[in-house]
Structure 1
Amino acid sequence: MTYLLIVIPFALATAAVALATARLPRFGHRMRASAYGALALCILTAVFDNLMIAAGLFTYPEHHISGIRIGLAPIEDFAYPVCAAFAVPAVLTLLAPRKERV
């Protein structure tokens, strides 16, 4: 199994949860804030994944990754912070009491 196949369910769940908040107030604001958060998390992922891979803390078998890399980090590693940046605010919005969703 490749890392891309592992990421797909997380990406689909993230999309579903984020779209479930589309009709709630401040959706655009949440998406913008999530995009900024995702950008920051991707920058941190790029820096620290590259440092950890360069230090030899872990490696990725070539047959499990797409081959696209940012430095030493495979592109699939960036899906998790992006999913987190969009899914966490969406889940918190859905779990908030209705009167606090404004």
Structure 2
Amino acid sequence: MTYALLNLVFLVPAVALAVVATLRAADRRRFLRALGLTLVAVLILTAVFDNVMIGIGLVAYDPAHISGVFVGIAPIEDFSYAVFAAVVLPSLWSLLRPSRRRSRAHP
């Protein structure tokens, strides 16, 4: 099994959760902007620190299971956990926080 295929197992439900959160968001544009900014910040940090970790030999990937696409020396598949976190956490936060209507109705 390739890392990309394994990543799909987690990223497809993450995207589905983000779609639900976007559709339920009171201000969709604001939610998507926040999600995008979160994603950019996390991907930049991941690019820096994953390249360091791979460079010092802390992490290694089997070349038979990666796509061959790299950001620096980090395989693109290494960014999936960052994408997952950057999409799922804001989506869950949006979906699980109490709505303003409910919080005002029950002081």
What's the TM-score, normalizing by structure 2?
0.85
Q: Does the 8 Å contact 1:31/1:86 carry over to 2? A: no
Offset of residue 75 of structure 1:
0.4
Q: Is 1:55 matched with 2:28?
A: no
Partner of 1:91: 92
Alignment partners' CA distance in 2, 1:91 and 1:19: 11
Alignment partner, residue 71 of structure 1 = 72
Name the counterpart of 1:4. 4
Q: 1:67 to 1:48 in 2, by over 3 A?
A: same
Unpaired segments ≥5 residues, structure 1: none
Cα distance per residue 1:4-35 (max 9 Å; x no partner) = 01110211111111111213302221111111
- In 2, the alpha carbon distance for the partners of 1:43 and 1:81 equals 10
TM-score normalised by length of structure 1 = 0.88
Measured in 2, the distance between the counterparts of 1:19 and 1:2 equals 26
Aligned residues with identical type, % of pairs: 44
Report the Cα distance in structure 2 between the residues aligned to 1:68 and 1:100, rounded to whole angstroms. Answer: 47
Give the distance between the partners of 1:97 and 1:41, measured in 2 at CA.
26
Higher Rg of the two aligned structures? 2
Give unmatched runs, 5+ long, in structure 2: 103-107
Aligned letter for 1:20? V
